[in-house]
Amino acid sequence: MKKNIVLVGTLDTKGEEYLYVKDLIEKNGYMVTTIDVGTGYRGKLMFSPDYSREDVAERGKSTVQELLKMGTGGQENRMMEVMSDGAIRICEELYTANRLHGVISLGGTMGTTLGTRIMRALPFGLPKVMLSTIASGDTRPYVDTKDVVMISSIADIAGINSVTEVTLMQAAGAVMGMASTVEIKASEKPAIGMTTLGGTTNCCLDVKKELEKKGYETIIFHSNGCGGKAMEEMIEQGLIQGVFDLSTNEVVDNVYQGWADAGPTRLETAGRKGIPQLIAPGNIDHIIYGSPDKIPERFRGQHVHVHGTGIYVLRTQKKEMIEIAKVMAQKINNAKGKTGVIFPLRGLSILDIWVKEYFDDPDANYAFFNTLKQELKSGIKVKEVDAHITDPVFAAEAAKMLHEIMGTEQGNQTESYGRKK
Question: What are the phi and psi torsion angles at 212 (to 5°)?
Answer: -65, -30
Q: Which regions of the chain carry the CATH code 3.40.50.12020?
A: 4-180
pLDDT tens per residue, range 46-77 = 899 999 999 999 999 999 888 888 877 777 78
**Correct CATH for 191-417 of 3.40.50.2300, 3.40.50.720, 3.40.50.12030, 3.90.1210.10:** 3.40.50.12030
Is the model's pLDDT at 185 over the cut of 80? no
Comparison of pLDDT for 413 and 138, the residue scoring more? 138
Question: What are the phi and psi torsion angles at 119 (to 5°)?
Answer: -65, -40
Average pLDDT (397-402) is 97
pLDDT tens per residue, range 252-311 = 999 999 999 999 999 999 999 999 999 999 999 999 999 998 999 999 888 888 987 889
Closest alpha carbon to 35 in 131, 71, 18, 2: 18
Distance in angstroms (rounded) separating the CA atoms of residues 376 and 333:
6
Is the model's pLDDT at 18 over the cut of 90? yes
Task: Please count the residues of the chain.
Answer: 421
Q: Which regions of the chain carry the CATH code 3.40.50.12030?
A: 191-417
Structure confidence at residue 41 (pLDDT): 67
Percent of the chain with pLDDT over 90: 77
Q: How many helices (H) and strands (E) does the chain have?
A: 16, 15
Mind spelling out the 3-state secondary structure of 284-306? CCEEEECCHHHCCHHHCCCCCEE
- What's the pTM value of the predicted model, to 2 decimals? 0.83
Least confident of 132-146, 237-251, 334-348, 397-411: 397-411
Structure confidence at residue 172 (pLDDT): 97
pLDDT tens per residue, range 109-167 = 999 999 999 999 999 899 999 999 999 888 989 999 999 999 999 999 999 999 999 99
Structure confidence at residue 78 (pLDDT): 86
Structure confidence at residue 409 (pLDDT): 40
Letter string b/e over residues 185-211, b meaning 16 or more CB atoms within 10 A of that residue's CB: eeeeebbbbbbbbbbbbebbebbbebb
Is the model's pLDDT at 416 over the cut of 50? no
- Averaged confidence pLDDT in the chain: 92
Distance in angstroms (rounded) separating the CA atoms of residues 142 and 326:
33
**Correct CATH for 4-180 of 3.30.1300.10, 3.30.70.20, 3.90.400.10, 3.40.50.12020:** 3.40.50.12020
